[in-house]
Every structure is written in structure tokens, then in C-alpha cells.
Amino acid sequence: MPIRHVDVTTWYLEQRDRAELTPPRREPEVAVEIVRAEPAGPELNRFLYTAVGGDLYWLDRLAWTYEQWQNWLARPGVETWIAHVGGTPAGYAELDPQAAGQVEIAYFGLLPAFRGRGIGGHLLAGGAARAWDLAGRWPGREATTRVWAHTCSNDAPAALGNYQARGFRVYDTKVETEAVEHTPPGPWPGAR
């Protein structure tokens, strides 16, 4: 597979007060239920990661072992929230609690078949709300003081606008040159 070099812009976004969270202006085209996966497991989270990011160059976790996935998910406060449409997973938001009351929306996105249907704004608003109230589900965790995320020019085209429409503000931007294959890997090896 030919390798090419591309400039990738990464935007770092944040909310510093729950009042900044803006709900979507429209309801999704279909009924959506957002449910926390309890417990989340390596198989489920790897499925979500590859199904959402396979066509978007999400590569950083592809080589993770089962044990690495297990260790990540076993950390207190890590949560996986899944949007379901008719019982089918449509997308997810993965929350990563950090020091000083900060929560990162570590991963967020929709499976390709569910993009462009108004589900993303609904899921992002729900995921951000769960980041803001995470301490209430984890005894001993300090209250959330900041919710942050990042997205890049390799993500879905609507991602940055969705974050901004939900009240996230860009606080930093970086541009780096990355070597990528001509096409993204797809949801599993050999899928393309």
C-alpha cells in the first residue's frame, strides 16, 4: 500500500463550566438510546474503536493487546457510553477521568452508516453531560471542573463543528505531518 505524507490539523477543545454545554437544535432522525456499557470490555471497546475509526485513520489502539484494553477499561471512572438505534450500536463516547477534576472525551464518533442523521450532536451532548456528572457515579472522585477533547482533520468532516455547536471552545491547534497509507484500514484487517 503506498504511503503518503499529509498535514494533519488537531484541534483541542474544552468546556470549563457545565453551563457551556449546548444541546442539539434538532432531534435525531431516528430514536436513539444512550446507555452506559457496564461493564465495558476489551471486545466491545475494540469493536467500537475499529467500527467508528476504521475509515478515519484511527490507528493508535490497533496494536493494543487484550491486556492493554483490559487495563485501560479497569481504571476507575473510565466509562463507555453507546448510542443505540433499534438495539444496534450507532456510536460511542469514551470518558477518561484525569487529575484535578478533568475529564477527557477520549474517543467519540459514529459508525459510518449512522453519520449525517442528527445522532452525533445528541450523542456528544449526552457524553459531555456524563463527563460533567461523572463524579456522582464514582465515590471519592472530585467534581468535574473541565471537560476536554480533541479532533483532527482525519476525523469525520462534521466533528469539529459538532464540538463547537455543543459549546466546546478551541484552546489550542497543532499541525503535524503524518505518514498514512493511501486508504484507511477499515474496521478489521483486510476489510478494504
Q: Read off the CATH number of the domain in which 32 is found.
A: 3.40.630.30
The per-residue pLDDT for 3 is 81
On whether residue 190 sits in a domain, the answer given is: no
Q: Angle 102-107-112 (CA atoms, 0-180°, nearest 5)?
A: 155
Name the domain count of the chain.
Answer: 1
| 8 A C-beta contact, residue 56 and residue 181 | no
**The predicted structure's pLDDT at residue 96:** 98
Mean pLDDT of 7-19: 96
Residue 169 inside a domain? The answer is yes
Residue 4: pLDDT band by 50, 70, 90 thresholds?
A: confident
Residue 187 counted as domain residue: no
Per the structure, the complete domain to which residue 169 belongs is given by 3-181
Identity of residue 17? D
Q: Flag whether 165 is in a domain.
A: yes
Residues 108-120 have pLDDT tens digits of 999 999 999 999 9
Residue 22 lies in a domain: yes
State the Cα torsion 15-21-25-29 to the nearest 10°. Answer: 90
The predicted model gives 29-47 an average pLDDT of 95
Judge whether 66 lies within some domain. Answer: yes
Name the pTM for this structure: 0.92
The verdict on residue 139 lying in a domain is yes
Is residue 16 in a domain?
yes
- Predicted pLDDT of residue 6: 82
pLDDT tens per residue across span 137-191: 999 999 999 999 999 998 989 999 999 999 999 999 999 998 877 666 666 665 5
